[in-house]
Amino acid sequence: MAEHPVFPYARWSERLPDLQRQFRSGDPFPHVRLTEFLEPAAAAACERDFPPPAAGDWTHYAHYNVRKLGRADRDAFPDSIRAVVDELQTPRFLAFLGALTGIDGLLADPSLEGAGLHQTEPGGFLRVHADFTMHNHRPRWRRRLNLLLYLNEDWREEWNGVLELWDREMTHAVRRYPPLGNHAVIFATDETSFHGHPLPLRAPGGRTRKSIALYYYTLDAATRPARSTDYRPLPGDGWLERARIWLDVRALDLYSRLKRRYRFSDRIASRLLAALSSLRRRDRR
């Protein structure tokens, strides 16, 4: 079987029995890390063409529990990145994911709700959290899997940005994976699949933490209660820190409810917040 120009189906399919065992036995929750995930030329092109923070219309996720950039406008992606995103949403790839994870009926999300391109600048972070449980605009779509593909050649651990997988009681990080180029982590998502990169990024000037994030769903027979992203304090955080985290989670929950009801996007909210911030700066002058 000839290899695919983006994803090496033949190579990974030969390893499926081992990958299935790794996923099922993943600690603290089912997951697997795949190195050399894409064909090398495809991964190199994605990293080379990844839009810098100053280019394009990035959504600014900036509140107490997170500081990062995101883009979900698939049509505006560079050709190399669009080819990867499109392939990882095909029926062929969904069948591969289903075989690996044992989850039947996986659905890709063409709208890339909360997904797409993610980028963290120096000082940015993502507090440990469990993800939102249902698609914001498709009430019967239950979130089941995350695929995080990293595009950072020669990343150094002292720059932080390491993906941490925490135990369900939030006592310690069980696994830590540096965001190395062409490494992917696939993991099951539920109410206690806690993960993040909570330490502020310390990359040198011009370096950012780059990734492609894709989320996969299954169709539920009935609508489930939706829960927004649930950020958690770390052991040792004081009461004031815990209170701020809790208040931010409550605000995010309200925002998510409004988004589901009125069907607006994070992009619109990001532009509104940027406009309000600009007005506040103007008033101070």
Query: What are the structural domains, with CATH classification, of the chain?
Result: 9-284 (2.60.120.620)
Give 112-167 pLDDT, tens digit per residue.
999 999 999 999 999 999 999 999 888 899 999 999 999 999 999 999 999 999 99
Mean per-residue pLDDT over the chain, rounded: 91
By CB atoms closer than 10 A (0-12, 13-18, 19+), residue 273 is: middle
Residue 273 has pLDDT above 60, yes or no: no
- Identify which of 188-202, 210-224, 261-275 has the greatest average pLDDT: 188-202
Q: How confident is the model at residue 235 (pLDDT cuts 50, 70, 90)?
A: very high
Residue 176 has pLDDT above 60, yes or no: yes
Q: How confident is the model at residue 253 (pLDDT cuts 50, 70, 90)?
A: confident
Helix (H, G, I), strand (E, B) or coil at 215: strand
Q: ∠61-205-162 over CA atoms, to 5°? A: 55
pLDDT for 1 equals: 47
Backbone angles phi, psi at 66, to 5 degrees: -155, 145
CB 273 within 8 A of CB 63: no
Encoded amino acid at 202, one letter = R
Residues 6 or more apart whose CB falls under 8 angstroms from that of 261 comprise none
The H-or-E segment that residue 186 falls in is: strand 183-188
pLDDT for 98 equals: 98
Residue 226 has pLDDT above 70, yes or no: yes
Tokens of residue 156, six digits: 């150094």
Residue 281 has pLDDT above 50, yes or no: no
Residues 6 or more apart whose CB falls under 8 angstroms from that of 158 comprise 202
The packing angle between helices 79-87 and 40-49, to 10°, is: 130
Write down the pTM of the prediction: 0.92
Give 66-113 pLDDT, tens digit per residue.
999 999 999 999 999 999 999 999 999 999 999 999 999 999 999 999
Per-residue pLDDT averaged across 221-228, rounded?
80
Give 29-57 pLDDT, tens digit per residue.
999 999 999 999 999 999 999 999 998 78
Q: Alpha-carbon distance 97 to 233, whole Å?
A: 32
pLDDT for 199 equals: 96
Q: How confident is the model at residue 272 (pLDDT cuts 50, 70, 90)?
A: low
